[in-house]
Amino acid sequence: MSDTAHDLAPNPLTAWRGKALAGEAPIPGDKSISHRALILGALAHGETRIEGLLEGEDILATARVMAQLGAKVERLGYGSWRVVGAGAGALLEPDGTLDFGNSGTGARLLMGVVAGHGIKATFDGDASLRKRPMGRVLKPLATMGAWVEGGAEKLPLTLHGALEPIPVTHRLAVPSAQVKSAMLLAGLTSRGVTTVIEPEATRDHTERMLAHFGARLDIETDREGARHISLKGGQKLKGAPVAVPADPSSAAFPLVAAVLVPGSRIEIPAMMTNPTRTGLVTTLIEMGAKITLRNERDAGGEPVADVLVEAGALTGVDVPADRAPSMIDEYPVLAVAASFASGVTRMRGLSELRVKESDRLAAVAAGLAANGVRFAIEGDDLIVEGMGARVPGGGTVETHMDHRIAMSFLVMGLAAEKPVTVDDGRMIMTSFPAFRGVMEHLGADIRDGAA
């Protein structure tokens, strides 16, 4: 099992209500794009220069794994990396276990990569990752010829790839960009066409980056609105420069904090605004938040904008289930925002939250309860009874090794009547190591230890 910082002693943190937040919030590179830049760089011929790579633990794990598989991966300076690959099909069987730490994305995308190579590799991760379901990706990869020793569906497991993956057409059973991406990555070395059908659109960074590296994909939307993504195997990827835009899933924390803390006004420069990722912004605007996108532009194949956020009152809304894929990682912080709204917010169709870094539905519910917020869970829906500006706070929240639970409830503490403690802030290192620094720079009061 992985031996990263989170296996050592816990580090409780407490957020206190304080002054208005103000200034610019520099947000690190997008986690999804950072993983893909390292992976596709290793599968491409020649050099890939990456600027703005997220240097969180999840991404550093992927960087180490790509080097174990034979790619040359070099850090040139802060956020600046160079990857030299030998082409899809040319990765080598690794010595030792591939350790993904806390990262489901790293593990699942690499299962696709290994499935497309005639090599075997052992996958492992931390206690949280060992609990997460891998069958959703291993089963479709098995139809392409990959197999797992003993049929395991949880880490640790040993996966044998296929020398020549069988081209398949696969309809996603769950709306998961990780499963889609794994299939496409395995399909790169197939002799035929791999097609993934997604009834609900999920984040499309793999498709965009494959195109950026010179691959041709055919993407069609059928009459039911499902996307059919087809990739012919054997195409040569060419290394290309990647500028990683700011991660909207990390920006979500200062963004919601600025909405909730009275008098706040912050700007988030160059936030990625890919529509498969902006469900939170759409929802907050529906709730009445003052969020303005300025200077919308393209940055290396992804749309970005400078985002101005001002504090203001929120009203509860009904969030439709089909918006879930575009804000799947943002529900914990949306639940915090909903606690401060007037009226009820119903978030529909949250079944996927149960299989994230923690059971996020249960962790959010427990966090709300600990801080005096009334809620109900009906089937897969979370219903939060907003309390206006008067959220009691004062609770201690169990984070269950989940970075987004930690950051979400620290945001709650910045606006609640009493401070909010999270039992452990170390996992924040996986996705947003500078979280506390960025929040303090805006004026937030976050302290070590319990209240």
Which among 161, 141, 157 has a CA at the least distance from the CA of 149? Answer: 157
Interacting residues with ligand S3P between 100 and 119 (CB under 6 A): 105
> Is-contact 216 235, C-beta < 8 A?
yes
Query: Does 178 contact ligand S3P by CB under 6 A?
Result: yes
Query: Which residues in 274-298 are b (16+ Cβ under 10 Å) and which e?
Result: bebbbbbbebbeebebebebeeeee
**Among 129, 271, 272, 328, contact with ligand S3P (rule: CB under 6 A):** 328
Residue ranges of alpha helices (H) inside 71-115 are: 104-115
Is residue 298 flagged as an active site residue? no
Please count the helices (runs of H) and the strands (runs of E) in the chain: 12, 24
Which among 244, 255, 245, 205 has a CA at the least distance from the CA of 435? Answer: 255
- The CB-of-246 to ligand S3P minimum distance in angstroms stands at 15
Angstrom distance (rounded) from CA 91 to CA 122:
15
Query: Does 278 contact ligand S3P by CB under 6 A?
Result: no
Interacting residues with ligand S3P between 52 and 111 (CB under 6 A): 105
Query: Does 194 contact ligand S3P by CB under 6 A?
Result: no
Query: Of the ranges 9-17, 173-181, 215-223, 434-442, which one interacts with ligand S3P (CB under 6 A)?
Result: 173-181
- In the complex with ligand S3P, which residue's Cβ is closer, 54 or 259? 54
Contact code string over 9-48 relative to ligand S3P, x by CB under 6 A = -----------------------x----------------
Interacting residues with ligand S3P between 343 and 372 (CB under 6 A): 352
Query: Does 186 contact ligand S3P by CB under 6 A?
Result: no
Burial degree of 216 (CB within 10 A; 0-12, 13-18, 19+) = exposed
Angstrom distance (rounded) from CA 102 to CA 174:
21
| Count of C-beta atoms within a 10 Å radius of residue 209 | 24
- The CB-of-90 to ligand S3P minimum distance in angstroms stands at 24
Instruction: Name the active-site residue from 126, 329, 402, 424.
Output: 329
- In the complex with ligand S3P, which residue's Cβ is closer, 32 or 339? 32
List the catalytic residues: 329
Q: Which residues bind ligand S3P (CB under 6 A)?
A: 32, 105, 176-178, 181, 203, 328-329, 352
